[in-house]
């Protein structure tokens, strides 16, 4: 993988702390990785190297970031069945099952989606980074549905650029407790780390957070639940789960942001990434990929319809 140079501009009318600015624009990289880039001289502002992560950017400042080539990955491919929706020389689209972690992390050193894809398509090794080869976006462990991985650096940059530009159409299906305040609506509530529980996210109503926008549309109404479609215009961690809980109608089965004892017997959260529309290399128009609703979620809907 070759070295990558990214040019960004502070288009706001206020000063912006450098590491926070980069974290907002380089969401595929962790905050610690970004800070390491700064301290090791990988970031310049208006042509001058900057080594202080707390450096303040003036309005209009130009930031040049040099991403070094990935080192040889230590991940080992595994023989794990994959539900492949589409594949060509540039990318692979998979219907991820609930329960599968996307990439290795603390407590999940094997059995991940990345390791399954490495076992199936070894050429993704090192594409886009050491720990997350091929990934251009993410899904929570207990969210099923469409996820895309790139097979080469050119495709990775092309696809990831669309996620960063928010030109990708991402739609989810969810069952929530109760009922949203309106049949359809738009939630514009910034999201940040929970100040008390750092593994959780929370609405950032009185502090700095990242812009987060979701639009929801009611599909079906039940006495105690609502089946909705959600389009996300941003891709924040746990965005739909946080936004629905903020509206007072958390996702069924979400024991982090919703009820500790789910209102319906289900071993996962009822959240499914069912549609992804994106321009892929070589095409002139966006292509849409869809994943059918998981069987266990169909069963929940059938039960609710039977009892209504």
Q: How many angstroms separate the CA atoms of 144 and 100, rounded? A: 9
Q: Tell me the H-state helices in 132-276.
A: 153-164, 239-246
Residue 176, CA atoms < 13 Å, CB-side half-sphere: 29
Distances in Å between the Cα of 151 and the Cα atoms of 84, 136, 146, 279 are 14, 11, 16, 15
Residues 117, 84, 104: CA angle, nearest 5 degrees? 30
Two tokens, residue 288:
């849409």
Told to judge if 90 belongs to the known catalytic residues of this protein, a careful annotator would answer: no
Q: How many CB atoms lie within 10 A of CB 285?
A: 8
Residues 114, 116, 121: CA angle, nearest 5 degrees? 90
> What are residue 248's phi and psi, to 5 degrees?
85, 15
Q: Tell me the H-state helices in 12-98.
A: 18-25, 31-39
Q: How many angstroms separate the CA atoms of 8 and 32, rounded? A: 19
Two tokens, residue 269:
């959260």
Distance of CA 258 to the CA centre of its chain: 20
Q: How many angstroms separate the CA atoms of 265 and 258, rounded? A: 14
- Three-class SS state of 55: coil
Catalytic residue among 19, 140, 177, 254: 140
Cβ burial, residue 143 (10 Å; 0-12/13-18/19+): buried
Residue 6 pairs in a beta bridge with 65
Q: Tell me the H-state helices in 41-179.
A: 113-120, 153-164
Q: Which residues are catalytic?
A: 140
């Amino acid at each position: 993988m070759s070295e990558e140079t990214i040019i960004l501009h502070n288009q706001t009318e206020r000063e912006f702390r450098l590491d926070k600015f980069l974290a907002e624009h380089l969401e595929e990289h962790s905050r610690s990785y970004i800070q390491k880039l700064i301290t090791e001289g990988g970031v310049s502002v208006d042509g001058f190297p900057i080594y202080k992560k707390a450096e303040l950017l003036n309005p209009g400042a130009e930031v040049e970031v040099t991403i070094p080539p990935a080192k040889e990955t230590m991940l080992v491919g595994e023989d794990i069945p994959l539900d492949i929706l589409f594949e060509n020389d540039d990318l692979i689209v998979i219907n991820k099952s609930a329960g599968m972690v996307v990439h290795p992390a603390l407590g999940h050193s094997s059995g991940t989606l990345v390791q399954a894809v490495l076992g199936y398509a070894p050429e993704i090794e090192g594409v886009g980074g050491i720990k997350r080869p091929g990934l251009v976006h993410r899904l929570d462990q207990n969210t099923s549905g469409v996820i895309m991985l790139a097979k080469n650096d050119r495709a990775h940059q092309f696809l990831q650029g669309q996620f960063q530009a928010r030109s990708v159409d991402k739609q989810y299906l969810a069952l929530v407790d109760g009922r949203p305040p309106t049949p359809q609506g738009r939630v514009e509530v910034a999201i940040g780390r929970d100040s008390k529980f750092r593994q959780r996210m929370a609405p950032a109503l009185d502090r700095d957070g990242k812009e987060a926008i979701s639009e929801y549309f009611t599909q079906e109404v039940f006495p105690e639940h609502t089946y909705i479609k959600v389009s996300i215009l941003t891709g924040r961690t746990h965005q739909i789960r946080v936004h629905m809980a903020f509206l007072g109608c958390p996702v069924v089965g979400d024991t982090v942001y919703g009820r500790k004892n789910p209102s319906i017997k289900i071993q996962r959260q009822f959240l499914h990434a069912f549609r992804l529309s994106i321009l892929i290399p070589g095409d002139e128009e966006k292509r849409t990929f869809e994943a059918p609703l998981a069987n266990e979620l169909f069963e929940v809907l059938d039960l609710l319809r039977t009892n209504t």
